[in-house]
């Protein structure tokens, strides 16, 4: 504004001076021209008149200058006033700018404060919401814990004792029946080689038996020890008979051990187990873990022909390599079954149990004999779970021994029999096997396949066919044998399981002389009387044993086959246990090697029922 006023003043002064100068110049020019003309024309002018004229012009010029100075002073005054106003306006503007800046700062601070307040409010809201959620979760957790405490107090699933957890999972109470169209004199447990031939008196008599002896008591105790888990497992039932056990009145049968073992399992996949347990030969469902054995679902506790198993002492070490590969080895109790076939030499390999040594004497019957074992049985096994099914391969190594007396019979007339020259004979045998189980229809239909084949492996088959026979010199010869089983299991509904099995155990013919009278599967074995009706041997209400063959009937068994079909239906399955009903039908067939009267067979139809309550 000040610069504008100054520019206006300068322009005004310049204009005034130019006007004055122009007027003076014009008057001078006019005067000069007039003078020139007058001089030219008249050549006469008075000096006084010229002086008066100049003085008049000077006065006019002075007056003009005075007037212009007055105007300049007025303009300067106005300019000063305007400068003052400009300064005041600038000061006012500066004050306003300062106030605006201060207001902006305060506004920014206020906005920041408001933003912080909003953030704090939002954070506080989130905190409050989180606290509400935590309070709700805490309340739910407390309710859940209270529920668990109440359940653990009122309906405990396990007992906690000094760091160990004790449970009864696997225990059940059973009421079961069996009907056979040919009597065996047996409870629900079936002797698979005991099917009577047509000539036996009991072949014409059916039998019905009922009991609760398969009821089972199982106790599992386990606790953590650093990176290891320690376990102890005890399992028993009442499928045992004492010396005085009978079904006359009290039906008092004895408790027997099924499994009793101790186990240590590391977080790194190692498991060490020792005690009585299922043989490592038996198929498992999960890796090589104890207590996950895959047993046929039959009611018959003898299971079904073709199934390979033992329950005996074992010391087992297994290793899990992740969740797909498992390796294990076991040292297990050995036992040579009763000799198969026949021979002419004198030898020994077993005796009746010594009661002083706490083995069963049993009246010196063949079922209570114990072999002189020189080695335990050895089992190596690998299991694979690639994501579709469970697969196993295993090997079994066994040793057999007897003492042979070659001079037990006098060589010449007048020469006494002698133990001189007696010697011990040992031989090794074994076999290989495989198990496979996978879903044909996922979660609906499973297929199971099992096979075991080798020399001297009859004891591991369900029919327990003979392990060994003898050669002409009295040495033991392992019998080539095998077992196979095929099973289908249908999970029809969450409550209904339907199963079907077909399998068999086989023993090969092995002869060691020209007439076929020494070895197993003898041509000279008497078979002419197997299908001829026989009078009860002892009479007077004391019939012969159901497992005793008729006269002139002593064949060597070739194979035992069995087909089974059944179901289990769960009436209830939940936190209070399981209540179920079962039904099983089985057809049992026994084939023999041809002897003096052909190859007799024996068949039996069997029906089982079961009603069970399983502890939770």
Identify the pLDDT of residue 18: 42
Residue 107 has pLDDT above 70, yes or no: no
For 246-271, what is each residue's pLDDT tens digit?
999 999 999 999 999 999 999 999 99
Tokens of 520: 């197993």
Going through 575-616 in order, the beta strands assigned E by DSSP cover 577-592, 601-614
Distance, CA of 523 to CA of 513 (rounded, Å)? 11
The pLDDT of residue 368: 74
Q: Are 185 and 191 in contact (CB under 8 A)?
A: no
Q: What is the pLDDT of residue 304?
A: 98
Q: Which two tokens stand for residue 259?
A: 């499994």
- DSSP structure class, residue 293: B
Whether residue 54 has pLDDT greater than 80: no
CB-based contact 507:146 (threshold 8 Å): no
- pTM here is 0.76
Q: Which of 84-98, 376-390, 401-415, 521-535: highest mean pLDDT?
A: 376-390
User: In the predicted model, is pLDDT for residue 370 greater than 80?
Assistant: yes
How many CA atoms, within 13 angstroms, populate the side-chain half-sphere of residue 21? 6
Residue bearing the bigger pLDDT, 34 or 180: 180
Choose between 127 and 326: higher pLDDT.
326
Residue 216 structure tokens: 């089972």
SS3 annotation, 152-190: HHHCCCCEEECCEEEECCCCEEEEEEEEECCCCCCCCCC
pLDDT grade, residue 39 (50/70/90)? Answer: very low
Q: What are 527's two structure tokens? A: 């078979």
Is the model's pLDDT at 121 over the cut of 70? no
Widest Cα–Cα separation across the chain: 218
Exposed, middle or buried: residue 40 (CB in 10 Å: 0-12, 13-18, 19+)?
exposed
- The fold of 257-510 is Porin (2.40.160)
Q: What is the pLDDT of residues 356-369, one digit of tens each?
A: 898 888 655 556 78
Q: Comparing C-alpha atoms, which of 452, 580, 489, 433 is closest to residue 295?
A: 489
| Alpha-carbon distances of 594 from 193, 362, 587, 597, rounded to whole Å | 17, 33, 22, 7
CA dihedral 363, 364, 367, 372 (to 10 degrees): 140
């Amino acid at each position: 504004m000040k610069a504008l006023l100054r520019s206006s003043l300068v322009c005004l002064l310049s204009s005034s001076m130019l006007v004055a100068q122009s007027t003076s110049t014009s008057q001078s020019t006019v005067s000069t021209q007039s003078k020139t003309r007058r001089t030219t024309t008249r050549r006469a002018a008075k000096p006084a008149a010229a002086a008066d004229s100049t003085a008049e012009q000077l006065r006019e010029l002075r007056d003009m200058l005075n007037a212009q100075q007055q105007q300049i002073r007025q303009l300067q005054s106005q300019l000063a006033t305007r400068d003052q106003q400009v300064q005041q306006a600038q000061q006012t503007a500066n004050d306003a700018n300062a106030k605006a800046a201060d207001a902006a700062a305060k506004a920014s601070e206020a906005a920041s404060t408001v933003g912080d307040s909003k953030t704090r409010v939002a954070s506080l809201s989130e905190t409050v919401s989180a606290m509400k959620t935590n309070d709700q979760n805490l309340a739910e957790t407390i309710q859940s814990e209270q529920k668990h405490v109440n359940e653990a107090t009122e309906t405990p699933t396990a007992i906690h004792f000094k760091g160990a957890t004790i449970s009864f999972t696997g225990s059940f109470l059973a009421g079961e029946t069996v009907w056979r169209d040919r009597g065996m004199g047996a409870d629900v447990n079936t002797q698979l080689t005991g099917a009577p031939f047509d000539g036996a008196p009991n072949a014409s008599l059916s039998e019905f038996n009922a009991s609760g002896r398969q009821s089972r008591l199982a106790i599992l105790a386990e606790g953590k020890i650093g990176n290891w888990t320690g376990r102890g497992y005890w399992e028993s039932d009442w499928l045992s008979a004492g010396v005085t056990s009978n079904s006359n009145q009290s039906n008092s049968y004895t408790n027997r051990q099924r499994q009793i073992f101790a186990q240590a399992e590391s977080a790194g996949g190692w498991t060490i187990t020792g005690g009585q347990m299922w043989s490592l030969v038996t198929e498992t469902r999960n890796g090589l873990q104890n207590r996950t054995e895959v047993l046929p679902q039959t009611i018959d506790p003898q299971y079904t022909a073709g199934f390979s198993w033992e329950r005996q002492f074992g010391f087992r070490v297994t290793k899990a390599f992740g969740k797909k590969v498992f390796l294990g080895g076991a040292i297990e109790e050995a036992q040579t079954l009763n000799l198969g076939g026949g021979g002419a030499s004198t030898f020994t390999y077993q005796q009746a149990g010594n009661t002083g040594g706490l083995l069963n004497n049993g009246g010196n019957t063949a079922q209570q004999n114990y072999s002189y074992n020189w080695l335990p049985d050895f089992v190596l096994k690998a299991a694979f779970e690639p994501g579709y099914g469970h697969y196993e391969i295993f090997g079994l190594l066994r040793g057999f021994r007897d003492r042979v007396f070659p001079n037990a019979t006098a060589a010449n007339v007048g020469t006494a029999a002698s133990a001189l020259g007696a010697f011990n004979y040992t031989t090794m045998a074994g076999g290989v096997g495989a198990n496979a189980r996978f879903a044909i229809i996922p979660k609906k239909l499973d297929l199971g396949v099992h096979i075991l084949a080798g020399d001297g492996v009859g004891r591991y088959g369900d029919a327990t066919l003979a392990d060994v026979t003898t050669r002409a010199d009295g040495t033991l010869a392992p019998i080539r044998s095998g077992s196979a089983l095929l099973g289908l299991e249908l999970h029809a509904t969450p409550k209904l399981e339907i199963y079907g099995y077909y399998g068999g155990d086989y023993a090969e013919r092995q002869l060691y002389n020209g007439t076929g009278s020494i070895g197993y599967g003898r041509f000279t074995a008497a078979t002419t009387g197997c299908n001829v009706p026989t009078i009860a041997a002892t009479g007077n209400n004391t019939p012969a044993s159901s497992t005793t063959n008729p006269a002139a009937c002593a064949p060597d068994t070739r194979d035992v086959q069995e087909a089974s079909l059944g179901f289990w239906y769960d009436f209830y399955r939940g936190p209070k246990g399981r209540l179920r009903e079962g039904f099983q039908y089985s057809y049992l067939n026994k084939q023999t090697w041809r002897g003096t009267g052909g190859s007799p067979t024996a068949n039996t139809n069997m029906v089982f029922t079961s009603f069970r309550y399983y502890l939770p």
